[in-house]
Structure 1
Amino acid sequence: MARDIPVIVLTGGPCGGKTTALQRIPEKLSEYGVSCLVVPETPTELFSAGVTIGGNGLSAKQFQKQIFLAQIEKEDRFRKIIKHMHGGKLVLFCDRGTMDGRAYMDPAEFNAMAETLGYSVPQLWDRYASVNHLVTAAIGAEKFYTLDTNKCRVEDTLEKAALADMKTRAAWVGHPHVRLIDNSTDFEGKLKRLLASICRVVGIPVPLEIERKFLVHNPVLDQLLVRSDIHIAEIDIEQIYLTADGKFGRRVRKRGQNGRDVYYLTKKYDVEPSVRIELERGITPLQYYYFVRDECDVSRETIRKKRYCFLWNSQYFELDVFLEPARLCGLTLLEIELTDKNDRIDIPGFMGTVTDVTEDPAFTNRALAKRR
């Protein structure tokens, strides 16, 4: 799906500040010449309309199915509307997205429901440029937790709110661009961090990717996969480098699960070692084929790897285990995208010995793909 008009999800736990953010962030963006539309939250609309669960109402499964269908319909309609708007930059916000429903169902059951309705999980991820999760006040700002901001809220204890937050985070694991906005500052600081995250996606002043990368020295995959306290999404990635476009390096990437793939064209160049300008758009499988056939950089090999996305202490990590080319097989890199290059990073202890290779050009995927 083309990213000309970014579609950004705001989600999070109960009383995380989402309602206030969806009022104030568009107002702030308007000062930068950005026009915004907001797709309203579907569950609240249905509850407010009198829809109930249980008794004479819908079953929980039927309710989630109707939320899913209504969410798709609204998002598609708002996408059409915003394309007719004029002016400067445009952004479409979603007050929660399709994957939020996975927090209220068995994940496998949600995936099966989506498939039955014609959508794979990678296709659902592909609907959104980024996902911003506002952590509930019940985690880190307990004295501010309240039911007053949403009359439909049912989490009446801190424990229930924290559990709902964790389930919602887990629902989005696997999306390529997830940001957790925690309560490490006051609420104004929280909104500033959210705004900074959104501005990087929108391209104010330019679309930046800030990341840190670590070489993992010892095999850790088995230790990660056996942990019952960590939700993990396993992604298959194939990326092929194209001839350069001026100062931009280019690649095409196939990203998917269980044989259901989505395709991207990415252009990027380094501003400094940990910061780069990145432009990405979705492409079709046929376009992917033509790019590979006609514009492939023959001096570089195809990279294939498994990516394991997971959350740890309110941080979103990606562990890449390389499969091809054969000379890279077993190479393991841990990456994390940041809102600010000075953000604190808490690397899981079970990763063992790691080396920060963020500033080592030999560990860029482009350099690793260079034929030897």
Structure 2
Amino acid sequence: MVEISGITLLLLVCFLICLYLVISDKKKPTPRQDVPPKMKRFTKNSSERSIMTLPKAMSSSYRPKKVIRICLTGGPSAGKTTALARLAFRLPEMGYRVISVPEAASLLSEGGANINMSQLDQTQQIQLQLRIIKLRMALEEIFTEIAERCGEKVVVICNAGVIDGSAYVTSDIWQTILDELGVTQVHLRDFRYDAIIHMVSPAQGAEKYYSNKKAGQSIDEARIIDKMLQESYTGHPKFSIIGNDPGKTFEDKLQKVTDVVFSILNIKAVKQYSYKLLVIVKGNDKDSLPIIPDYIKSQKILVEETFLESNPGEILRVQKRGHSDSYNYLFTSEKIRSDGTTETTSQIISPRDYMNYLEKRDQARTTVKRILQCFIQDDNYMILDTFLSIKFKGSILRVETKKKLEEISFPDFIEVIRNVNDDPGYSTHKLSKINWYDSPDISKMAGY
């Protein structure tokens, strides 16, 4: 009989244990690496496995933006392609490189995949829109990554946006698409683009230049699509509408697009107007919020803005912005240059970073809670800003437009008191002060 020493027996047992663990590990199913954890529950129930694999960027919702990304959207035959060509010509003269993201639907059409949505059932419409969204997002991320590696001033301009598809399907189908993707309208609208420019279809205001054959939709269908696109992007913090003004040419329309982009990039000599008006709203609800009539489509957004401790000549703040328990978080720094101008930088932050910043809040100021009610009036983008948590209890109307103040037609439920564009006392930074007080004359005039 062969004698086995204690050490030899111990080594043999260890070898057998290791062998068992290796065999057991090989029997375990390998988890899929291509699907983010939050998306697995949707993929398991889908026969279209490839549809649900989102671009890598979706797994990280807080990628800091290194370049400006603008979405150029609009109704049928609005002139987006021509406007992109004009921008690609003008911006390099100002030192910017332009990277244009092609329209996903056009790529399919140019490849021979002309699809009539009306001929598809609901399931097929959902599957098609999911593929188009996936293609759009992938294109945007690829072009943006290339732009970030350019090492120069560069702007990414997207021909149409991710949520453009919402104008071509019913609201129920679009909500199903959002649920399948595991995202919300707010995230797709507000996070992906630094600014939105909507070019109005000639079917609205320039009917004689609209061609059914070229656009593929009747003039009434084009008007509906244009309106739905405007409503889809209403709520974005930087949303501009380029309409078809009476007596103006298409060249004038292209110039307006150029002016807006120049304004976004802080290029001087731009005739884009922004107004900040002290107003009275006729009628409040039970929560003391202004009532916007039902016939006006509006988007309500909650904003909480907290100012942080900072050095002289510097303003730091964090902002929580969104609605329906879906929020984005932003950190902004403003520094006064030696020539008196202001340098502003912003970046998207995570919810955890936001909470950490709140520990550095300026104790001399109150967190400013506001309700923004965004709507469109005669091609003018208006934001009714109502303050809830500070001494100032009035409302301020912010207007983004190509018109002079005297040319703007305001809704009947709003009475303009005065323009406070140049009044530093009505900046959020000033309004947040615990010891803020209003002028007695203005208080009496505004009725609060």
Q: Tell me which interval the TM-score lies in, with the shorter structure as reference length.
A: 0.7 to 0.9
Q: Deviations over 1:249-272 (max 9, x none)?
A: 33211101111111112234799x
How far residue 314 of structure 1 moved from its aligned partner, in angstroms, is 0.4
The answer for the alignment partner of 1:358 in structure 2 is 421
Comparing 254-263 with 200-209, greater Cα deviation is found at: 200-209
Counterparts of 2:211 and 2:250 in 1: how far apart (Å)? 14
Corresponding residue for residue 324 of structure 1:
389
Q: Say whether residues 1:162 and 2:223 are aligned partners.
A: yes
Q: Is the 8 A contact 1:208 1:276 kept in 2?
A: no
Task: Specify the alignment match of 1:198 in structure 2.
Answer: 261
**Change beyond 3 A, Cα 1:108–1:216:** farther
Give, in angstroms, the shift of residue 209 of structure 1.
9.3
**C-alpha displacement at 1:305, in angstroms?**
1.4
Structural mapping, 1:1-372, within 5 Å: 1-49=63-111, 50-52=113-115, 53=117, 55=119, 59-86=124-151, 88-107=152-171, 109-124=173-188, 125-147=190-212, 153-157=215-219, 159-184=220-245, 185-205=248-268, 211-220=274-283, 227-244=293-310, 247-268=313-334, 278-294=344-360, 296-325=361-390, 327-328=391-392, 330-338=393-401, 344-372=407-435
* Aligned residue type for 1:194: V
Moved more, 233-242 or 60-69: 60-69
The unaligned stretches of length 5 or more in structure 2 are: 1-62, 436-448
Distance in 1 separating the partners of 2:187 and 2:274: 25
User: Distance in 2 between the 1:143 and 1:276 partners?
Assistant: 45
Q: Which letter maps to 1:131? A: I
Most deviating of 211-220 and 256-265: 211-220
Range 278-287 or range 51-60, more displaced: 51-60
CA 1:111 to 1:264, structure 2 compared with 1: closer, same or farther past 3 Å? farther
CA offsets per residue over residues 170-212 of structure 1, 9 Å max, x none?
A: 1111111110111223222211211111112223259999631
CA shift digits 1:276-328 (9 cap, x unpaired): 7643321222222232223x222111011111111111011111222213x34
Paired with 2:423 and 2:300, the residues of 1 have a C-alpha distance of 26
Aligned-residue offset at 1:13: 1.4
Q: Deviations over 1:85-134 (max 9, x none)?
A: 23x31111111101212222344653453243132223212110000011
Structure 1 pair 363–59 and aligned structure 2 pair: CA distance change class (3 A): same
Deviation at residue 36 of structure 1 after TM alignment: 1.4
- Give percent identity, aligned residues only: 27
Task: State the distance in 1 between where 2:100 and 2:406 align.
Answer: 29
CA distance in 2, matches of 1:234, 1:290: 27
Q: Give the structure with the higher percent strand.
A: 1
Q: Per-residue displacement from partner, 1:40-96 (whole Å, max 9, x unpaired)?
A: 11222223432523557873333222222221222122222222223x311111111
Residue type at the aligned position of 2:278? L
Question: How many Å apart are 1:16 and its aligned residue?
Answer: 1.3
SS of the equivalent of 1:26 reads helix
Residue 360 of structure 1 and its aligned partner are, at CA, apart by 2.4
Distance, in Å, in 2 between the alignment partners of 1:170 and 1:192 is 24
Unaligned runs of 5+ in 1: none
Cα distance in structure 2, aligned partners of 1:43 and 1:343: 41
**3-state SS of 1:324 partner:** coil
Equivalent residues of 1:252, 1:291 under 8 A apart: yes
CA distance 1:268–1:312, change in 2 (3 Å): farther
Are 2:278 and 2:420, in contact at CA under 8 Å, matched by a contact in 1? Answer: yes
Q: Judging changes above 3 Å, is the alpha-carbon distance between structure 1 residues 32 and 7 closer, same or farther for their aligned structure 2 residues?
A: same
Cα distance, 1:6 vs structure 2: 0.7
Give the secondary structure class of the aligned counterpart of 1:306. Answer: strand
- TM-score w.r.t. length of structure 1: 0.86
Amino acid corresponding to residue 97 of structure 1 in structure 2: G
Structure label with greater radius of gyration: 2
- State the Cα distance separating 1:33 from its structure 2 match: 1.7
- Give, as a single letter, the amino acid of the residue that structure 2 aligns with 1:171: S
Q: Which moved more, 1:30-39 or 1:213-222?
A: 213-222
Question: Contact 1:180–1:316 (CA<8 Å) still a contact in 2?
Answer: yes
Instruction: Return closer, same or farther for 1:284/1:344 CA change in 2, 3 Å cut-off.
Output: farther
Q: Match for 1:174: what amino acid?
A: G
- Matched with 2:445 is none
Q: Distance in 2 between matches of 1:267 and 1:47?
A: 44
Does the C-alpha gap of structure 1 residues 276 and 220 become closer, same or farther in structure 2, counting only changes over 3 Å? farther
Q: 1:2-35 CA deviation, whole Å, 9 max, x = no partner?
A: 3430110111111211110111211211111211
- Aligned partner letter, 2:223: A
Q: Which structure has greater helix proportion?
A: 2
SS at match of 1:298: coil
Deviation for aligned residue 1:353: 4.9
Over 3 Å counting, the alpha-carbon distance change for 1:363 and 1:116 in structure 2 is same
SS of 1:349's equivalent in the other structure is coil
Partner of 1:217: helix, strand, or coil? strand
- CA distance 1:254–1:178, shift in 2 (3 Å): same
Q: What RMSD, in angstroms, separates the aligned Cα atoms of the two structures?
A: 3.0
